[in-house]
Structure 1
Amino acid sequence: MHYWYDSDENDVVYESLDWEFVDSGIAKKSQFMHTFISKQLEPSTIYKYKIETKDKGQIFVSNTYEFHTPQEDAPSFRFLATGDLGATNAVSMPVFKELAQNHEYDFVAIMGDQGYNLDDFNGTKGDQYMNFAQDFYARVPLLTTAGNHEEAFDLMPYHESNFDDAMQYSIDYKSLHLISFATEVFFEGSDAQVQTSLQWLENDLIKASRRRAKVPWIIVIGHRPLYCSILSNPDCKENAETLRFGHSKQQGLESLLVKYNVDMYLWQVTCNIAGYTSCTDALHISGHKHNYERTFPVRNDTALTRSYHNAPSFFQVITGNAGNYEGGDIFDKDTDIPSWLGSRFQGYGFSTIEISPRHLDLHHYETHIDGTLGHLQDHVRVSKTECHINKQRIIRQD
């Protein structure tokens, strides 16, 4: 790998860690993983880079890509949030590639189901998807979580988060503490695995609560939703209740989100209405459902308020309508709209989130079927005072 400052053709020094990963598919394909550890990067800088590989004496050189480092002292930053993005009918991908070139977003959070079963056809589907998404992922740092279509030999290492299977992690970024939680454990894991995952999450939230004065915002991302409005679908009823309350109503996600004053649960939701797969998520941000929904601050299936100023509980966003082969989810026509539902949108689109120490701005944009950017479909500002932040540091006992 070669990379350099945008204004300088001289390479920057780095270390390389390389290893071979052999998947567990029939073909036992080898994937070669490369981790590059750079020296300290300069803030507010555009770097260019390219990859060289050798095979049977031939040298192959990639296109030249570029990425940016954020401003060091900037009080606010923006990131993209999306999920359920396939290589077929990937309506939003042209917009993502264009936005990545503008260097306006510091990272992208993807709430699972990328490409849909990347292990299909002995992994060639994964190759197809990664080549398709390369111009996007090569320019913007990626934070993701596992969806129900990503159970095969998944690799998402984040050793610093002290979780043995590396499927869950958290980071601090400026005024945000971002947690990726693997919601599939509630449906694919044993009772012991569920409790291990929840214990890791609670320990992480305890640490985050102690740093609330410096890092005031806590967002949890996951694949499945805690709330969704297509109440005719099991994903929005019994599966959502399983996530909220746990198996046999012992413990689920909602009690931890409330106890530790999580601000937002973000998820990507994709439900196959005909096949009844599942959906769930909360800011909490999530996916899994192929639409967009935003709740009011909610707890126990009840909207606590319609105000997002010094909110008494978390709110949830579903942003799973980037584009996929299954198409969008259709909202129910004959059922009552839940009181906790703040906004929803049935077309294709994606979300952006801007965070400063006192404000969080959520925008959801439409993307047209031809891959062009459409209109703003939703916007909400979340705000908190210093007094409220100090209260959030106190762990709820109810």
Structure 2
Amino acid sequence: MLTLVISLFIFSEILGLPISNDASNAPEQVHLSLTNDPTEMAVTWITQKSLDKASPYIYYGPSSDALNSKVPAEVTKWTDGGSKSTTRFTYRGIIPFLTPGQKYYYSVGSDEGKSEVFFFTQINPNKEIRAAVFGDFSVKNGYSFDPLIEMTKLGELDLVFHIGDISYDLDDKNGDKGDEFMNAIQPIAAYVPYMVVAGNHEQNQDFLHYKNRFTMPQNGVLNDNQFWSVTLGNYHFVGISSEYYAFNMSTEAQLQFNWLYRDLRAPRSGAPGYPALEPLFNTYGVDSVYWAHKHTYERNWPLINGTPILDNQELNHFHNSPTPVYTLTGTAGCHDHTFPNETIAQPFSALRLGNYGFTYLTLHNSTHLSTVFVDALEPSSRLDPFLFTKDLGYKPSGLKI
């Protein structure tokens, strides 16, 4: 099994088949996300006004003209803390009993207004899984939008991981900035699951917009979207929040650590104190860790306590790495930098890049993953080709706790 940890203009629609649309209650910001069940798909959307008497549903089926099944959605009313006290309505529903590899069409809304028809293919864990991984992304300087939308159209993405710092900021201008960004990602997120973790820019109003705009898998501890895990066949994905540490949220940090300890199947009772995440990753076989926040791309050598472990490793191929591969990928398109900064390589850096873009991850099987960096301004240019392999049953010998 491969274990990965993830922590920190309106575009034309791909399909664009309208159904009905009452502008006052029109569904917008439609996006998909995974649940704890690989046979389900969560769908989330927003309206700017409440429904009058109608009930919200997800309508779905095997073709765009045969949306013969429907499931109800739950609505959450929430109010922004800005000067206008803007109220929005978030709808969440889950499509059940899906077949891996099968294509499904869907629309969301009610008798008072429905979205256009979208589609998705339920992820098949027995085949390669391809994902875009990035953080620090906004409409301003959003250079990665075009290649991400194009890759979605071409069927080259199965998943997206957005590692914090979303929109800059979701709550700006009474939440209008968040609406703009969420509508801008719809040509991606309505077709492939868009998984997120919070960054420091989501902290305003106690993460109000982050909690209410997204739907992540339940962790059974805190219902705040901040940490979660998903297993797809031989692949285990974990999303965690570093913001608990950044904002001195010690209770939440400890709860997350205890949960992570259990999630990685620690073989003993009790839990060590936080914040010793690195030895936890090393001990329980995490293969790859992705971060953002810094507006650059950096792939590190295997590390223990900040010290690079170079034995028997090649620049572009790590085999049986003694520790996880740490990759910083915060260059999707930050709002306030002309170009990403901090591109000077350090002793622990296998490679640093200053280009705008994102990591394109391919999970080949339980022992092989590969990545390239997609240059957003020259998408055909794939930089830093990297292969991670391990022997079947290999357990890393990194620092133990």
Q: TM-score, normalised by structure 2?
A: 0.74
Task: Give yes or no for the alignment of 1:37 onto 2:94.
Answer: yes
Q: Which has the higher contact order (CA 8 A, sep 6+)?
A: 2
1:162 maps to 220
Counterpart amino acid of residue 303 in structure 1: P
Is it true that 1:121 corresponds to 2:121 in the alignment? no
Q: Gapped runs of 5+ residues in structure 1?
A: 211-245, 268-286
Matched, 1:2 2:13: no
Q: Is the 8 Å Cα contact of residues 131 and 158 (structure 2) preserved in structure 1? A: yes
Change in CA separation of 1:50 and 1:69 when aligned onto 2, cut-off 3 Å: same
2:276 corresponds to: 252
Aligned position for 1:63:
116
CA distance in 2, matches of 1:395, 1:364: 27
Write the distance in 2 (CA, Å) between the matches of 1:39 and 1:192. 34
- Which residue of 1 is the match for residue 361 of structure 2? 353
1:330 maps to: 341
Is 1:363 aligned to 2:368, yes or no?
Answer: no
1:288 offset after TM fit, Å?
0.7
Q: Is contact 2:299–2:326 with CA below 8 Å preserved after alignment?
A: yes
Summarize the Cα distance change of 1:11–1:187 in structure 2 as closer, same or farther, 3 Å threshold: same
Residue in structure 1 matching 2:265, options 196, 202, 206:
206
d(CA) in 2 for partners of 1:107, 1:168: 17
Q: 2: distance between equivalents of 1:7 and 1:192?
A: 47
Quick check: 1:13–1:39 contact (8 Å CA) kept in 2? no
1:255, CA displacement in angstroms? 2.2
Deviation of residue 96 (structure 1)?
Answer: 0.8
Query: Is 2:393 the partner of 1:383?
Result: no
Cα 1:13–1:50, aligned 2, differ >3 Å: closer, same or farther? closer
Tell me the alpha carbon deviations over residues 123-177 of structure 1, each in whole angstroms, 9 at most, x when there is no partner: 1111111122221111110111000110131315546312224311111122211
Aligned-partner Cα distance in 2 for 1:39–1:193: 31
1:291 equivalent to 2:291? Answer: no
Q: Indicate if the aligned counterparts of 1:293 and 1:317 stay in contact, CA closer than 8 A.
A: yes
- For 2:370, what is the secondary structure of its paired residue? strand
Residue number in structure 2 paired with 1:242: none
Kept in 1: contact 2:134–2:332 (CA 8 A): yes
CA drift of 1:202 comes to 1.8
- What is the total number of aligned residue pairs between the two structures? 326
Q: Does 1:21 align with 2:73?
A: no
Q: Distance in 2 between matches of 1:84 and 1:396?
A: 31
Give 5+ residue unaligned stretches, structure 2: 1-57
Distance 2:76 2:249 in 1: 31
Counterparts of 1:331 and 1:260, CA distance in 2 = 31
2-structure distance, mates of 1:197, 1:255: 15
Deviation of 1:33 after TM superposition, in Å, equals: 1.9
Aligned to 1:184: 243
The alpha-carbon deviation at position 197 of structure 1 amounts to: 2.6
> Structure 1 residues 387 and 128, CA, compared in 2 at 3 Å: closer, same or farther?
closer
Contact 2:282 2:400 in 1 (8 A): no
1:332 offset after TM fit, Å?
A: 5.9
Q: How does 1:109-148 map to 2 (within 5 A)?
A: 109-148=161-200
Q: Indicate whether 1:50 and 2:107 are aligned.
A: yes
Deviation at 1:92, TM superposition (A): 0.7
Q: Residue 284 of structure 1 corresponds to which residue in structure 2?
A: none
Q: Could you say what the CA RMSD is over the residues aligned between the two structures, in angstroms? A: 2.5
Residues in 2 aligned to 1:205 and 1:161: alpha-carbon distance in whole angstroms: 13
Equivalent residue number for residue 234 of structure 1 = none
Local SS of the residue matching 1:149: helix
Q: Which residue of 2 aligns with 1:275?
A: none
Give the superposition deviation at 1:53. Answer: 4.8
In structure 2, C-alpha distance between the alignment counterparts of 1:324 and 1:397, rounded to whole Å:
37
Secondary structure of the structure 1 residue equivalent to 2:185? helix
Letter in 2 for 1:77: I
Q: Deviations over 1:322-345 (max 9, x none)?
A: 112222333366xxx432211111
Identical pairs, percent: 26
TM-score by length of 1: 0.75
Query: Do the aligned partners of residues 43 and 332 (structure 1) sit closer, same or farther apart at CA in structure 2, a change above 3 Å counting?
Result: closer
Deviation of 1:66 (Å): 1.7
Q: Take 2:114 and 2:102, find their aligned partners in 1: how far apart are those partners?
A: 24
- Residue identity matched to 1:310: N
Q: Per-residue displacement from partner, 1:164-203 (whole Å, max 9, x unpaired)? A: 2431111112221111111011120243443333222222
| 1-structure distance, mates of 2:217, 2:306 | 35
Whether the aligned pair in 1 keeps the contact of 2:296 and 2:343 (CA below 8 Å) is: no
- Separation (CA, whole Å) in 2 of partners of 1:8 and 1:138: 18
Q: Give the SS at the match of 2:264.
A: helix
Aligned letter for 1:177?
Answer: H
Q: Helix, strand or coil: the match of 2:68?
A: coil
Q: 1:261 aligns with which of 273, 279, 285?
A: 285
Q: 1:303 to 1:16 in 2, by over 3 A?
A: same
The structural deviation recorded for 1:377 is 0.9
Question: How far is the alpha carbon of 1:44 from its aligned partner?
Answer: 2.1
Match of 2:329 among 309, 319, 322: 319
* Equivalent position of 2:8 in the other structure: none
Q: Secondary structure at the match of 2:334?
A: coil
Which amino acid in the other structure matches residue 66 of structure 1?
A: F
Shift of 1:297: 0.9
Distance apart, 1:86 and its partner CA = 0.1
The C-alpha deviation readout for 1:200-228, integer Å capped at 9, x for no partner, is 22222225x89xxxxxxxxxxxxxxxxxx
Q: Could you tell me which residue of structure 2 aligns to residue 106 of structure 1?
A: 158
